[in-house]
Structure 1
Amino acid sequence: MIDRNTSDHHIVEFDLTADEARRRTEVVAALGDTWDPLAVLEGEADAYRLLYSNLDAEQQATYDMLVSAGVLPASGQA
């Protein structure tokens, strides 16, 4: 922490680099050795495809409108 006094103001700076590195290390450790990020991404893609499959005409039109507006990613880009 750096505290610089300038007249009536105090500028305080924190370097969180070490804390962020520690936090990331703890997250990866908590996930364990069996965590497979590729499998997780594939599972999310499968869930996305399932969520937007078998839509009726009105639902499909709404989905297409949301994709064209950029609210949802196009099919295959999830």
Structure 2
Amino acid sequence: MSTQDTPLPPEPVDFSLDLTGHEMTRRTHVMAALGSDWDPVEALRGEEEAYDMLYSGLDAEQQRLYDTLVEAGVLPRRGSGRAAA
């Protein structure tokens, strides 16, 4: 009998898979890779500094586009609402 001859079930089959154990193993490996000296607060501070640098020194057209994206809710408003100079 081939798979083409196997009748399909009349109703959808409930299929579930519990990945909880795998997720805990994944998280353990991530934390081990980060190391014991990883400081999440410092990492966030560095990320904010990188965003400030990214949006600094914009020319007039870039600033206009930045402001449009902020107004549309695509980018968060940073600082005084103007990209850093």
Q: Between Structure 1 and Structure 2, which shows a larger proportion of strand residues?
A: 1
Same fold (TM over 0.5): yes
Count residues with an aligned counterpart: 70
Runs of 4+ in 1 over 6 A off after TM superposition: none
Of 1, 16, 25, 2:19 maps to 16
Mapping for residues 39-58 of structure 1, pairs under 5 Å: 39-58=42-61
Q: CA deviation at 1:32?
A: 0.7
Counterpart CA distance in 2 for 1:51 and 1:26 is 31
Q: Which 5+ residue runs of structure 1 have no aligned equivalent?
A: 1-6
Give me the TM-score of the superposition, normalised by structure 2: 0.72
Residue in 2 that maps onto 1:71: 74
When Rg is computed on C-alpha atoms for both structures, the one with the higher figure is 2
Greater relative contact order (Cα 8 A, min sep 6): structure 1 or 2? 2
Q: What is the identity percentage for the equivalent residue pairs of Structure 1 and Structure 2?
A: 56
